[in-house]
Amino acid sequence: MADTSFDIIIIGSGPGGYVTAIRAAQLGFKVAVVERSYIGGICTNWGCIPTKALLRSADVFHLMTHAKDFGLSAQNVSFDPKAVIARSRGVAKRLQDGVGFLFKKNKIQVIWGEAAIDAPGKITVKASKAEAPKGALGPGAYQAKHIIIAPGARPRALPGLEGDGKLVWTYFEAMNPDKMPKSLLVIGSGAIGIEFASFYRTLGADVTVVEVLPQILPVEDAEIQAFARKAFEKQGMKIMSGAKVTKLDKKSDSVVATIEDGKGGTQKVEVDRVISAVGVVGNVEGLNLEKLGVKVDRGTIVIDGYCKTSVNGIYAIGDVAGPPMLAHKAEHEGVICVEAIKGLKPHPMDKLMIPGCTYCSPQVASVGLTEAKAKEQKLDIRVGRFPFLGNGKAIALGEDQGLVKVIFDKKTGQLLGAHMVGAEVTELIQGFVVAMNLETTEEELMHSIFPHPTISETMKEAVLDAYGRVLNM
């Protein structure tokens, strides 16, 4: 008879869930993970990983069509949509298999189905429509001293703008389209919306982005988003900020969108497809949270610094525990959670230290306070900037359009925030994340030796600029 009792049961196998399970197993806990759809969750299967595979194909296509810029020749460059998508799905499958391997390696039991919490320490799992992986346990009653809720999120649906799977897409359909649209409307300019806008525009679609807020990439520093917007528009993307899509009229194979432009005017735009990218909402339904007395505030499970909910023995991590809704935030919360359960006394999450990355072209990355937020807090600040135009490696790569911006506390030299736009900045930002975690001062950063030639030199130059010591501009 299958064992139904565990030390920790985790509901959800996305980045938060599977990383939490692995760390718990490393700490000696007997662990099970409940999953209803995809091992690895949305991120591995329909989010972070496969979108980057699509964007990589778009990047290579862009380079091939601009081969002449590098003294090369490439004739009759084209792309096969089915092959591009097949590669993306193959990458997702490889990572999904990898998570399954890690479960086996760490002796983590998979329970397949839909979980509901009956009481602290007790869950019931009902059958799922998806086919269970080999070796998974099925529906039934299970017990665990600690239950960690990590079911992730789903696309947010606005009335009248909901995805229908054919003409109006969510990220599911946008990642596996029935056709490559010649024209596309993207509603929302956060990371998901801008990444898909960038992908489809690079492959030749006429793309219009509508954002209800005054700026695109709303969480980013205003100067950085303005730089990115200029680059997107130079690529041919049409962007309408402070605007709102009020109606979608569907035809047989196209959609007519009514858009209020925010200036008192209204226009209609006909496109092949629409992507609704207005955010995500946590999967808090169906878990019996209200019955259990678990506090939920506006769709978010309320937790303390160690991911405890208002009910002993029940914890929450990731998207259901509130923004920022990022895979790496979920992973780190899970590690904090199980290490606290073990009694290791980890540091609580500091959300200012969570980097954000958008993998459009050019890329955008940031950590800490924006200039506006620092000023709102009435901090006395120094701001440094350095453009990629002054960096030898960026020029050699043909990637001279970018900017690094840093914000320091004038009194203490503390790095308060860092913001970047340009090639590979999603890889560079971690340097500033480490610096902030180590409480590195401006003097220490200025005395650090950065290898030459690298794009990372722009980071040091931005620091130098904040203190009037910039060298290469």
Active site residues: 452
Cβ atoms of residues 238 and 216 within 8 Å: no
**How far apart are the C-alpha atoms of 147 and 128, rounded to whole Å?**
20
Tokens of 324: 């920022």
Cβ atoms of residues 470 and 406 within 8 Å: no
Task: Name residue 371's amino acid.
Answer: E
| Exposed e or buried b per residue across 290-302, where buried means at least 16 C-beta atoms within 10 angstroms of its C-beta | eebebebeeebbe
Helices and strands per DSSP (H, E), number in the chain? 14, 24
**How far apart are the C-alpha atoms of 6 and 142, rounded to whole Å?**
8
Q: Where are the alpha helices (DSSP H) in 249-399?
A: 289-292, 327-342, 371-376, 392-397
Preceding amide of 159 cis, omega within 30: no
Kindly give, in sequence order, each residue whose CB lies less than 8 Å from that of residue 282, ignoring residues fewer than 6 positions away: 151, 152, 153, 299, 300, 301, 319, 320, 321, 322, 325
Show the beta-strand stretches assigned E in 36-113.
109-112
- DSSP states of 313-336: TEEE-GGGG-SS--HHHHHHHHHH
Which candidate, 159, 195, 254, 246, places its Cα nearest to that of 51? 195
**Within a 10 A sphere around the Cβ of 111, how many other Cβ atoms?**
26
In which element (H, E) is residue 273 found? strand 273-276
**How far apart are the C-alpha atoms of 358 and 75, rounded to whole Å?**
31
**Within a 10 A sphere around the Cβ of 443, how many other Cβ atoms?**
11
Which candidate, 408, 415, 400, 387, places its Cα nearest to that of 472? 387
**How far apart are the C-alpha atoms of 411 and 403, rounded to whole Å?**
25
